[in-house]
Structure 1
Amino acid sequence: MSASLVLRRRLAGELRALRLQTGLSQEQVAEYLDASAYKIVRIENAQSSIGMSDLRQLLTLYKVDAETRDRLIDLGRNARKRGGWWSSYRDVLPGPYVQLEAEASLIRNYQPSMVPGLLQTPDYARAVVQSSSLAISPDEIERRVTVRMKRQERLYDAENPLELHALIDEAVLYRQAGEERVMQAQLEHLIEAAALDNVSLRVLPYDAGLYPAVGNPFVILTFAESVDPDVALCENRVGEKYFHDAEEVSGFHADFRQMTKVSLDEAASVKLIKRTITEVGTQR
């Protein structure tokens, strides 16, 4: 597994802090490197990696001590390593999310209309992918489902399991995805997943009324190292929008806390899912 994207974010943060400490503007740094200011912006936003030659020049410009220089050069080398298992699926992965998720220690996920990807069964995931586009090929559907199942392995990692806090609206339990048997199996899988020590699954019931972010899914990723700031993601048909600013991310945290307060507790959530399974079964 490669942590290249997370490490690139860490390096970008340190380089930005060093530049600010020296009182230099991005334009001045760009002139020093004989590069465009846009290049410096992308490096400091972790949108592109920095070459080792440029990194050494910047560390000289920022007058860092020998210990810091060695540490950041080592960080720069590791940040440039190629990606992990997801590299083979770049054609079906439009953004950096899977890389970030692979290195996260805690995921907070709110979904108002479908089961979170980390908790989907293969058949449910297949139905979701098929519904996303009429033009998608059978081969791409299977590749997307494979990626989704690969991501879920983190939940069952005995040494370093991913912690997942999932909030789903009650509507998710009733929204049909595929055939009835698919939905039945998916609901049963939710109950099994909820029994995992590292998974917290809670349902926002209809009688909770309107709550923060209602209808707008989002994810918050938290990392083991405190130097790696949280990231929030909102996704829709147009694309992915990432939030890195601490104040913006704190707003997502506040919404998630409030939504958790008005949700059913874990036991009551499982009870509701079981009741839904029974209701679906008796309607056949």
Structure 2
Amino acid sequence: MSASLVLRRRLAGELRALRLQAGLSQEQVAEYLDASAYKIVRIENAQSSIGMSDLRQLLTLYKVGAETRDRLIDLGRNARKRGGWWSSYRDVLPGPYVQLEAEATLVRNYQASIMPGLLQTPDYIRAMVRTSSWEVTEEELERRVDARLKRQERLYGDDPLELHALIDEAALRRLGGDPQTMRGQLNRLIEAAELPNVSLRVLPFQAGLYPAVGNPFVILSFASSMDPDVALCENRAGERYFHDADEIAGFHADFRQMTKVSLDKTASVTLIREAIKEMTA
């Protein structure tokens, strides 16, 4: 399994901390490497990887001890490795999200009008893709389905991903595909709610307005304290990632408050069953 993006973020954070500890500006570091300040910004924001030659020069500049130097050089090598199952789906998974999700240990996901991607059925996925991409070919459609189902494998196994899903009642009532597809999707939610690593709660209409209402987001958390949380908001304009500690704290605060006004597991499953009955009638 490749952890390149997560490790690149970790290395970027350590290099930024070392630069600040050395009392150097990004411009001074850029001059030392005979590079542009923009390059240093991208390295420290984990937007691009750092070459091994540049890494060694920076560690010399920062006067890093032998033990730390060896550790960061090893981290740099691993951060440059490519691979992972998603490599075969680059055409349908262009962004960095799946790499981050593959290394996360906990995903907090709030959805306002659709089902969480990790809990979608194949038919529901097809209905969503056809709605958002009218000109998609059948081959691309099935590759998108396969990629999403591959992501869902993380919910099972010996060390499963922990998922906390908050779903607005509107998502239960909004028809995704035909009624049969939607019934299958709702039954999938009931099955997922029984998994020990999944917390599924519904935000009922009676909850009224709540923080972030109508604005879905995901918070990714990782096993190592050296890998800070990442938040993602996605819409028609694309993906926007948040890394700043204060911004992340805001997302966590919203998620906690929304959890408080959501139904518990039993009441959530009851509401989902009611939605299935109403759809059948």
TM-score tier, shorter chain, comes to over 0.9
Cα offsets for 1:40-86 (capped at 9, x unmatched): 00000000100000000000000000000000000000001112000
User: Which secondary structure does the structure 1 equivalent of 2:152 belong to?
Assistant: helix
Structure 2: how far apart are the matches of 1:218 and 1:66? 42
Q: Does 1:217 align with 2:253?
A: no
Find the counterpart in structure 1 of residue 251 from structure 2: 252
Query: What per-residue deviation string (whole Å, max 9, x for no partner) do you get for residues 83-135 of structure 1?
Result: 20001111111210000000000000000000000000000011111111212
Aligned equivalents of 2:249 and 2:145: distance in 1?
32
Q: How does 1:1-284 map to 2 (within 5 A)?
A: 1-157=1-157, 159-282=158-281
SS of 1:234's partner is: strand
Q: CA deviation at 1:197?
A: 0.2
Gaps of 5+ in 2: none
SS in 1 for 2:196: coil
CA distance in 2, matches of 1:163, 1:223: 11
Deviations 1:146-200 (A, max 9, x none): 110000000012x210000000000111111111110011111100000000000
For 1:266 and 1:110, locate their aligned partners in 2 and report how far apart those are by CA, in whole Å: 15
- Inter-partner Cα distance in structure 2 for 1:162 and 1:198: 7
1: CA distance between counterparts of 2:200 and 2:4? 30
TM-score norm. by structure 1 comes to 0.98
CA distance in 2, matches of 1:134, 1:249: 35
Letter of the 2:274 partner, please give it. R
Deviations 1:198-227 (A, max 9, x none): 000000000100000000000000000011
SS of the residue 1:92 aligns to: coil
Greater than 6 Å deviation, 4+ residue runs: none
Question: Alpha-carbon deviation of 1:276?
Answer: 1.1
TM-score by length of 2: 0.99
Residue 280 of structure 1, CA deviation: 1.1
Q: What is the aligned-residue RMSD (CA, Å)?
A: 0.7
- Residue 137 of structure 1 and its aligned partner are, at CA, apart by 2.0
Match for 1:48: what amino acid? S
